[in-house]
Structures are given as C-alpha cells and as structure tokens.
Structure 1
Amino acid sequence: MTALKYLGGYPPPLLDKVRQLIERDELGDYLQRRHPGRHEVQSDKALYAYTNALRQEHMRNSPGIDRVWYDSKLDVIQRALGLHTAISHIHGGRLKARKEIRIASLFRETAPEFLQMIVVHELAHLKEPEHNKAFYQLCEYMQPDYHQQELDLRLHLTWRDVLAARAS
C-alpha cells in the first residue's frame, strides 16, 4: 500500500483513487493535463512583486510585506512549503515588526496555480494566524479554486515522492 503522507485527512475513496493512479502510473499524466504550464516567477525580486501584487489586489488594507524570497532549505528542514514571520526589532526607541514570507524553492518549477496557492496561503496568515474557517474563507476569496489547487499540489508532492522512491 502506498503511503500518502500529504493526503492525510482526505476521505478513503479519494485515497483509493490516488493509489490506483499511482499503481497504473497515471498520476503524473493526470497532473500534466491539469497543470501543463510553468510560471515565470524565478527570482526573489519577481516573487516579491508577484506577492505584493496579490496583496494589493485582495488585501489592500493589510500591512506591507518587507521581504519575500525562495528558500532552498524550507522544504527539507522544516517540512513546510512556505512560512510567514514577523521579526520584531527596536528602531530608535520604537518597536517595529518586519513581515517576511519564505516560499520553498520547489515552487520555482511548478505550475502557476501552485505558486499562487502557496502565496495566497501565506498572505492569508497576515490576517488570520490560525488555520480556521476565516482563514480558508480568505484563501477562497483570493483564489476561488483554492481547495482544488491545494489538493492538486498535494498530489504533485505525492508524485514527486513516488518518482524519488523509484529513482533510489
């Protein structure tokens, strides 16, 4: 039985379908049909501009973001795909917080929908720190098919693991 570590919490019938796709070697084709393209946001500067444009479009009244970058250590060390942080420091007697978003480097080579999904996820954390109903409503507001893209991203990560296991 194939371990589906990225799909915990999904219903058993869906997990069975995913296992069947893996066994028939069709999951990669399914993902390629659904997400054939690759985005062009390759540099940290472009990622910052992309993230800030999404923030301006959907969260105009939220605080600005000080830094956004691709982090090559994120996926491996923290088993996270993106992180948002507010780093506090004292500046001339005042306390300031720098808002930063780190996106796992694996998103450089993914479909545009996956990059948008992870950026939307991290932007939503600026307003809603917890994964609650309001958080997911905000994600759906910014990306109407957020939940489908999250599932597809989890399938993509599962397929990456399957390919890595076959290569070793």
Structure 2
Amino acid sequence: MTVSRYLAHYPTGLQQQVQALIDGKNLTRFLRERYPVTHSVGNDKQLRDYVLALKNRYLKQSSPLSNVVFDNKLHVVHNALGVHRSQGRIQGNKIKTKRDIRISSMFKQVPEEFLEMICVHELAHLKESEHNKAFYQLCCHMLPNYHQVEFDTRVYLTHLELIGPVYTGAEPQE
C-alpha cells in the first residue's frame, strides 16, 4: 500500500479506497471532478481580506489579527499547512498580544474549499489552542463539512506527494 502519511490515521477502508484510485490512475480525475475550480485569492492582501471576512462572520469577539500572509517557508514537510502565532510584548504597564496567521503558499492554487478549511482551522486556534473536542466543534460551526474537506485535503496532499500537482493554474477560477 502506498497511501501516504497524510491518511495514516484514517480507517483502513478509506485508505483502501484512496489506494484503489491511485492504482487505477483515477485520483487526479476524482479530485478535479469533486473540486473543479481553484480560488482567486492570489496575494497577501486578498488572503487577509478572506480570513478577516471569516473571522468577522464567526469570531467577532475574538482577538484581532495583526498579520495574515501566504508563507513560502511553510510546507507539509514540517507538518504545517498553516500556523497561528501569538506574541506578547510589554508596552508600559500593559501586555500587548500580536496574533498572526500564516498559510502555506502551496494553497495559492487549490480549490477554495481547501483554503477555507486551513483558514477555519487557524482561526479556531484563536479560541481553542488544543486540537480537542471544542476546537473541532468550532471548526464545524464555521465550516459544517470541515471533516470531509480536511480528509479531501489530505487526499490532495497524498496526490502531491505520490503523483504531483493537480491544479496547475490553468483551471478556471470563479
């Protein structure tokens, strides 16, 4: 079985289904049929606007964000598709906290569902620092099909690892 590390914690039956798509050379077609259109968020300003719209819709009372950017240094090799940072500094007699979200640049040419899932995941960390039940409930509140899109993103990452890119920039964007 060649299914990658991205799917290692999923049930054997799901891994076998993905393996059958790989063996039959149908994984690319499966992903393109399920997610035919890539998003149009092409730069850091657009990403910031995209994330802030999600934040304002679901997490109005959460801490403000200082920075939201695509990061060329983030890659799945380091087990990170996106990161959130919280940095405290003392200014006078107050502690000022600066919060950043960085999304791997590999998500510049993917379906919007994948980008949204990563953004929702990182935004959820503003309220819940651990990957616990409350964290995943918040993710599902912001993105009801969160678990399915997370799985499909892992299938996409498996495709990248074993076969190569699915989306080359020539796909139509809405």
Percent identity over paired residues: 45
Deviation per residue, 1:80-137 (Å, 9 max, x gap):
0000010112223422110000000000000000000000000000000011111000
Question: What is the RMSD computed on CA atoms of the aligned residues?
Answer: 1.1
TM-score of the superposition, structure 2-length normalised? 0.91
Residue 42 of structure 1 corresponds to: 42
Aligned length: 164
Question: Quick check: 1:7 aligned with 2:11?
Answer: no
SS, match of residue 127 in structure 1 = coil
Deviation per residue, 1:41-72 (Å, 9 max, x gap):
11101111110110000111111111000001
SS, match of residue 148 in structure 1 = helix
Unaligned runs of 5+ in 1: none
Question: Quick check: 1:69 aligned with 2:69?
Answer: yes
SS, match of residue 152 in structure 1 = helix
Within a 5 Å distance, the mapping from 1:1-168 to structure 2 comes to 1-75=1-75, 78-164=78-164
| Greater shift in the superposed pair: 70-79 or 45-54 | 70-79
Structure 2: distance between partners of 1:77 and 1:11: 23
Structure 2: distance between partners of 1:57 and 1:76: 28
SS, match of residue 100 in structure 1 = strand
Q: Which amino acid aligns with 1:112?
A: E
Residue 170 of structure 2 corresponds to: none
Decide whether aligned partners of structure 1 residues 160 and 140 sit closer, same or farther in structure 2, where only a CA change above 3 A counts: same
Structure 1 segments (4+ residues) deviating >4 Å: none
Decide whether aligned partners of structure 1 residues 26 and 77 sit closer, same or farther in structure 2, where only a CA change above 3 A counts: closer
| Greater shift in the superposed pair: 24-33 or 74-83 | 74-83
TM-score of the superposition, structure 1-length normalised? 0.94
Cα deviation, residue 9, structure 1: 1.4
- Structure with the largest fraction of helix: 1
Q: Which amino acid aligns with 2:85?
A: T
Q: Is the 8 A contact 2:2 2:19 kept in 1?
A: yes
SS, match of residue 95 in structure 1 = strand
Unaligned runs of 5+ in 2: 165-174
Cα deviation, residue 76, structure 1: 5.6
Structure 1: distance between partners of 2:150 and 2:26: 19
Q: Is the 8 A contact 2:3 2:15 kept in 1?
A: no
Deviation per residue, 1:8-44 (Å, 9 max, x gap):
2111011111111101110110000010001111110
Structure 2: distance between partners of 1:48 and 1:14: 35
